[in-house]
Amino acid sequence: MIIINLKPIDSSFFERTTLDLAKQLLGKLIVHEYKDQTLIGKIVETEAYQGPLDRAAHSFNSLRTKRTEIMYQHPGLLYCYQMHTHVLINVVAGPRSVPHAILIRAIEPVSGLKQMKLNRPHIKKEVDLTNGPGKLTKALSIGMDYYGHQLFEKPLYISHAPPINENQIQIGPRVGIANSGEAANYPWRFSIKNNPYVSAYRK
């Protein structure tokens, strides 16, 4: 990929419906200006979570806690949380006071591959560097200190890239939420067809 005009996307990009934003994020670049490096990945997989009616969402039933509070703020903020030893990152979506978020599930490395490999030194296959939500944050050196960060501001931001055509987008159920009733079947997982960095599906 040829990178042109690498800069934070305008905040207005995030002001759209949650499902549309989940699709529009595909192909965009997530950029982390980390120390003396610029780590860049192309977003290839996302999942939308639409609380408070989505049983799979952390904000289901309008749950409002210290952890979920950021989802009630304006779109384009970073909602991150820790699962075991992994940090997972979400883009806050929807209008203010409507707690929606979009999980970034997988990216394709674009720049900074050497540092990504140093960040995940025991990975044998390059595709395993970033083909999962906990993997990509380690590769990009993203930690919990970015909770609430605006993704249209440096040093961690979303940047423009050529749009993905609708016919290139794979749509299906989300991953790992089998205990969430009918929400387990909502077709709110979006990925770029045939991209090797898309995570493996599991119920």
Where residue 1 falls among pLDDT bands split at 50, 70, 90? low
Find all residues with CB under 8 Å of 95, minimum gap 6, and list them: 75
Where residue 197 falls among pLDDT bands split at 50, 70, 90? very high
Where residue 74 falls among pLDDT bands split at 50, 70, 90? very high
Cα–Cα separations (whole angstroms), residue 181 to 56, 61, 178: 8, 14, 7
* pLDDT, tens digit (0-9, with 9 covering 90-100), for 142-163: 999 999 999 999 999 999 998 8
Cα–Cα separations (whole angstroms), residue 178 to 123, 172, 185, 202: 28, 14, 8, 9
Q: How many Å apart are CA 41 and CA 186, to the nearest integer?
A: 27
Q: Rounded mean pLDDT of 162-172? A: 95
Q: How many Å apart are CA 123 and CA 200, to the nearest integer?
A: 16
- The strand pairing partners of 88, in sequence order, are 81
Residue predicted with more confidence, 133 or 64: 133
User: How many CB atoms are located within 10 Å of the residue 89 CB?
Assistant: 27
- Which pLDDT score, from 0 to 100, does residue 99 have? 96
pTM for this model (two decimals): 0.95
